[in-house]
Amino acid sequence: MRNRGTTLVELMITVAIIGISSSIIVGAAHQARMAGFAELQRERALLLLEYHAGCASSGQPVSADVTQRLVESLPDAEVSSASAEGLTTVTVRWRPPLGLTQERSLTVFAAAGSLP
């Protein structure tokens, strides 16, 4: 039997395999965390959207303070609303968490007077 040590190439291949495997595992865990965080942000955006849609339906004025408190945990959040023929379209847009590129937005149509 020929006895020799490992060559540099063999060592590099081993290190590369370990590195690639661990980066896949860490990346997958990070992706899972970001997906969960994105869901939480969606829920925050939904609170904001429901508040604005509720105000549009009942004709109550939107409170800047409440909006500010709802927006502060959503990065770059924007609320826009447009009314036409008694129907208000409220849209919330916000920046997704790090690692996710797709733009996030939610839209709801609120009919004036639909809430008691």
Partner 1 sequence: MSRRAFTAVELAICLTILIVLIPLVYAGALIVEETHSLGLWHLQSADQLRSVTEELRLDVRRGVPIEGQELAWKLDGCQVSYRVDERGVLSRELAEPCRGARGLATGVTAFERVQDGVELELTRVLRPTRQEHSRFFIPLEAP
Report how far residue 49's alpha carbon sits from residue 91's, in angstroms, rounded to the nearest whole number.
7
Q: Is 14 in the site for partner 1 (CB under 8 A)?
A: no
Quote the DSSP letter at residue 6. Answer: -
Half-sphere exposure of 15 (CA within 13 A, CB side): 7
In the window 27-66, what residues touch partner 1 (CB under 8 A)?
29-30, 32-37, 39-40, 42-44, 46-47, 50-51, 54-55, 57-58, 60, 63, 65-66
> Partners of 16 in the beta sheet?
none
Residues that bind partner 1 (CB under 8 A): 1, 3, 22, 25-26, 29-30, 32-37, 39-40, 42-44, 46-47, 50-51, 54-55, 57-58, 60, 63, 65-66, 69-70, 73, 115
